[in-house]
Amino acid sequence: MKIGLMAAVTDSPDSTLDHIIEDAKRAETEGFASLWMANIFGLDAISTLALIGRETKTLKLGTAVTPTYPRHPTALAQQALTTAAASNNRFNLGIGLSHQVVIENMFGFSYDKPAKHMREYLSVLLPLLDGQTAQFSGDLYNVNGVKISVPGDPKVPTLVAALGPVMLKLAGEMADGTITWMTGEKTLETHIIPKINAGADAAGRPTPSIVAGFPILITRDAEAARSRIDQTLAIYGQLPSYRAMLDKEGLAGPGDLALVGDEQEVRHRLNRLRDIGVTDFTAAIAAEDSEGLARTRAFLASEC
């Protein structure tokens, strides 16, 4: 299991574009395998990772995740291929449906039949990422004769954020893996990994990548850390898809899911994730001070 970091996407004045790029360069020198960035309502994650790709040499880069509904698959393919070219094929495209409250209430799109949306979206996107001509006629997308040519023939592994059985089957059949958040070890072992692997097996595809994101903190006061994480990440305990994963795990909230404690305790949790088949661990360091951040980051670097 390789260990990576989640880039900061807060409204902190320190989280400027320059700061994120410098932090990525530092992560590479520390030995981290990857850097992932969420696409929320700030810096565009794919564009930011393209810039990081020009400043780094070995760091795997990925979105965690870019929502599909606001971007036509042809536009997303063009952006992803450009970023792959900018990073010498180190870019991984993580995409997801987002949430009904965002897609319908904020963006004004219909969230009806989200799995159908994703299947049609991938039917257009994946051929374009593979250098082929997209020719697809569906209920949601009709694309005829589009081909995107980017110098260097870049490759873009594609991960689908999948939590339910239908989406996991779809991700296994069509994509290169999945990327999860608010999903615990038991749920990964008994639900996520078996179902996506079954989908891949049925389609004759390689074993999918499993990228798992967790809040994490090395601390002497685990109880206080969990309480604080519950407060700062409260929204994730309320969104229906994540709430379902926490319930499946038998957890009250994000704090209970987080990897918190001393080095020995957290190492045990990391080893558990490695043993069940997680291929990439994405650390969202949940520190409130520089000491906690430095201690956690140093520990993670030592585990790389």
Rounded to whole angstroms, the Cα distance separating 80 from 176 reads: 15
Rounded to whole angstroms, the Cα distance separating 68 from 125 reads: 10
- Sign for the CA dihedral angle at 270, 93, 170, 250 comes to positive
Instruction: Quote the pLDDT of residue 288.
Output: 87
Give the domains, in start order, of the chain with CATH numbers.
1-161 (3.20.20.30), 162-304 (3.20.20.30)
Read off the pLDDT of residues 16-67 as tens digits, 9 standing for 90 and up: 899 999 999 999 999 999 999 999 988 999 999 999 999 999 999 999 999 9
Rounded to whole angstroms, the Cα distance separating 297 from 304 reads: 11
Mean pLDDT of 1-5: 98
Rounded to whole angstroms, the Cα distance separating 162 from 180 reads: 7
Instruction: Quote the pLDDT of residue 13.
Output: 56
What CA–CA distances, in Å, run from 26 to 8, 31, 298?
Answer: 14, 9, 12
Read off the pLDDT of residues 105-126 as tens digits, 9 standing for 90 and up: 999 999 999 999 999 999 999 9
Read off the pLDDT of residues 6-30 as tens digits, 9 standing for 90 and up: 996 545 556 789 999 999 999 999 9
Read off the pLDDT of residues 55-98 as tens digits, 9 standing for 90 and up: 999 999 999 999 999 999 999 999 999 999 999 999 999 999 99
pTM of the model: 0.96
Mean pLDDT score across all residues of the chain:
96
